[in-house]
Structure 1
Amino acid sequence: MHNPPAKDLESIARQGGRFKRMAVRIPTYLTDLKENPAWLPMFLLARTLPFRQMHWFATRQAVEVPVSGTSMFEGVERRTVVDALRADGIYPGLMLPDRIQREIAEFACNTGCYGNFNRKLEFVASEHAEAEARFGRPILSGHLFERSLDCDAVMAVQRDPLLIDVARQYLGGQAKVITTRIWWSFPTQASEADRSLASLDKYHFDLDDWRMLKFFFNLVDVDEGTGPHVFVKGSHRRRRVRHQLTLLVGHPANEVLDYYGQGNALTLTGRAGSGFVEDPFGFHMGTVPTRKPRLMMEVGFGVSKPSRRRFHGEPVLR
C-alpha cells in the first residue's frame, strides 16, 4: 500500500484545520443570512475583484462637502490619507491626543473583558495569569465587546469628523460606523485554533461588507514583542486568482508574501496612541505577543446594513 509523503500529509492536515475553522463559523454565518439575506451574495462575490468593482461603481455615492467640526487629529489632511489608502491600502500616520489615549487605556485596564470571545471567561486584564489558572486554559485575547461604548473617549474617537470624512471619501457617501471595539492580546501558549479564532499569525482579509475601512489605535507602546499588526501594501487592489476563488480567507505568510512581495509587509509598531487606517480587503494579520500584552482599539466603517457579529462580539450600532 502506498503511503502519502509526509509533506502531503501535512498539507492535508492543514486543509482539514482550515475547514474545521470554517465549520465553527457556520452558526454565525447562518444567523447573519437569516437577519440579512443580502449577506450571502456579498460573502460569495465580494472576494473577487470584478464583482467588488462592479458593486463599487454601481453603489458608490460621491461626497462633495467635507464633514464639519474640529478633529482631534491635528495636522492630518484628508486628501493625504485617502490618496495613501488608494495607492497602498494603508495610512500609518495617526496619533491620538495623550488625554484620549490615557482615558481609553485606563478604562480598558479597569473594565472586565471576556477571554477567547467567551463571555463565561470574564476577568480584568491585570489578572490574566490568575484567570488562566482559574479557568484552566490559555487565554490569548480579551474583548470588551459592547462595554467599549461606555467610554466617552471611545465615542469621541468614533465620532471624529476626520474619520467620518475619510471613510465617506474613500467608501462613498453611505459609509457608516459598523464596529467599535477594544481588545487585549496576551502572551500565552495558545493553540493554532485559538490563534486562528483571534485572527493571529495568519494573513487574511475581511469580508464583513462589500467595502470597508478600519481605523486602529495602539493603546500601549507596541514593539516587536507586543504582537504588532502587519499589513501587505497594495494587496487591496490586486489579488491572486486562487485567493479570489477560495472560500478560505486565511493563508500562510510564505504563500502571501511570495506573491505580493516581502518588501510590502508593513509592521505597525509605535508608541501608545499611534494609529493607522487600512482597507481590510488587503492581506493583514495580528501577531501573537511574546513579552507583554497589546491593547488595541478599532473603529470600522462599511456601506451595508451591519450584521450582528457574534463571532467577534461586536455590537450593532444604531
Structure 2
Amino acid sequence: MSRPQPKDLEAIARSGGRFSRIAARIPTYLTDVRENPAWLPMFLLARTMPFRRAHWLTSRPVPAADKGETSMFGDIRAEDVAVELKRSGIFYGLVLPAEIQQEIARFGRDTPCFGNFERRLEFVAGDHAEAERRFGRTILSGHHFERVLQCEAAVAVQKDPLLLDIARHYLGGEARLITTRTWWSFPTKTASEADLSRASFKFHFDLDDWRMLKFFFYLSDVDQDAGPHVYVRGSHNRRHIKHQLTLLVGHPAGEVLGYYGAENAVTITGKAGSGFVEDPFGFHMGTLAKNTPRLMMEVGFGVSKPSRRRYHGEPVVR
C-alpha cells in the first residue's frame, strides 16, 4: 500500500455553511440526549485534550485473548498494532483474504445502495449515471445500511478476533464492536460546491465516543483518482486550542495542515483487499472519486453505549 503525500488538498477540502449545518442538526442532538443522556457530556468535552486524557485513564485491563480463535489476517500482533496507533494514530498492513474481498465486492455490486444517505434514492452501483438522471440529483455516495448484514463475508470480518483484540489493546478492555458499513463513492461531473461541502471532502475528526477505533478496507482498487482516504498522523494526540473550543469538527485543509504539518498528511492508496486502522479523533478526510468509483468497508469499535443517530444509518450493535 503506497502512501504518497497529498497534492492540492485545499481544493478538495473546501468548506462552507458549517454553522447552518450545526443548526440543522440541533433536533438530532436533542433526540440523542433524550435517548442517551451520557452523550451530551461526551459531545461537549471529548473534543478537549484534558478531558480525553482523563477518560483514557479509566480504561480497563485487556482480558486474555482466546487462544483457540484464529484470524483471517494471519499472525499480526495486536500489541504491535496498538503501539503504532498510540504513536501515529494509524496502522497499515491489514489484507483481506482474496475470497473474502471478492465476496464483499460482489455484494456491493449486486445489492442496491442508498444515495447520499437518502433511502428514497435506491439503485445498484452499476446504474449510478442512470440514477442521477432518474432522480435529478448529484449522487456522490451509496450506502448499503443494514443490508451489509446480509453479506456473510462482511459479518466474518467484523467478528474477526484480531479486530477486537487490537481494539482492546488500544482502547481498553471495555472496547466493543459498534457498527459496520459498506459504501460506494462515485465520480460525478455534476457536483456543486454545496454538494462537496456536505460530503466528507474536508479535514474533520469523528466525535461519536470518548474513545474510538475504525478499521477500513478497500474493496476495489484505489489510486489517486479513486477517492483515497487521507489521514494526518499524530493529530490524534494533540489538538490546537481552536479545534478544542468549537462545536465544529470540520476545518479547512490549510488550517489543519498548517498546524499539524503537511508532511504528516498521508494519502492511502492500495489494491482491493488492502486495509488500515485509525484513531478517528485524528484529522482525516475522504477525497473525491475522480474517474473510478470506490467501494469501502468500515468496522468501528467504541467504549460507550452508542447513540443510533450518531452513525450513518448502518446497523448499530448494542
* Both structures adopt the same fold (TM-score exceeding 0.5): yes
Structure 2: how far apart are the matches of 1:305 and 1:178?
9
Q: Indicate yes or no: 2:209 matched with 1:198.
A: no
Q: CA deviation at 1:55?
A: 1.3
Distance 1:104 1:15, change over 3 A: closer
Contact 1:148 1:182 in 2 (8 A): yes
Q: Structure 2 counterpart of 1:251, which letter?
A: H
1:35-74 pair list within 5 angstroms: 35-57=35-57, 59-68=58-67, 69-74=69-74
Q: Secondary structure at the match of 1:225?
A: coil
Structure 2: how far apart are the matches of 1:311 and 1:177?
13
Q: CA deviation at 1:34?
A: 1.1
TM value normalised by structure 1: 0.92
Give the equivalent residue in structure 2 for 1:122: 122
Q: Secondary structure at the match of 2:180?
A: strand
- 1:106-158 Cα offsets, whole Å, 9 max, x none, are 00100010000000000000000000000001000000001011110011000
Q: Secondary structure at the match of 1:224?
A: coil
Structure 1: how far apart are the matches of 2:248 and 2:158?
31
Q: CA deviation at 1:30?
A: 1.7
1:92-241 pair list within 5 angstroms: 92-188=92-188, 189-200=190-201, 202-241=202-241
Structure 1: how far apart are the matches of 2:104 and 2:288?
22
Aligned residues: 303
1:231-310 pair list within 5 angstroms: 231-309=231-309
Identity %, equivalent residues: 69
Q: CA deviation at 1:312?
A: 1.4
Structure 2: how far apart are the matches of 1:67 and 1:230?
34
CA root-mean-square deviation: 1.4
Q: CA deviation at 1:253?
A: 0.8
Contact 2:144 2:314 in 1 (8 A): no
Q: Structure 2 counterpart of 1:88, which letter?
A: S
TM value normalised by structure 2: 0.92
Q: Secondary structure at the match of 1:93?
A: strand
Q: CA deviation at 1:76?
A: 1.7
Q: Structure 2 counterpart of 1:190, which letter?
A: A
Q: Structure 1 counterpart of 2:287, which letter?
A: T
The answer for unaligned runs of 5 or more in structure 1 is 1-13
Instruction: Give the number of the structure with larger relative contact order, counting CA–CA contacts within 8 Å between residues 6 or more apart.
Output: 2
Distance 1:15 1:151, change over 3 A: closer
Q: Secondary structure at the match of 2:308?
A: coil
Contact 2:215 2:276 in 1 (8 A): yes
Q: Secondary structure at the match of 1:237?
A: coil
- 1:216-251 Cα offsets, whole Å, 9 max, x none, are 000000000000000000000011110111110101
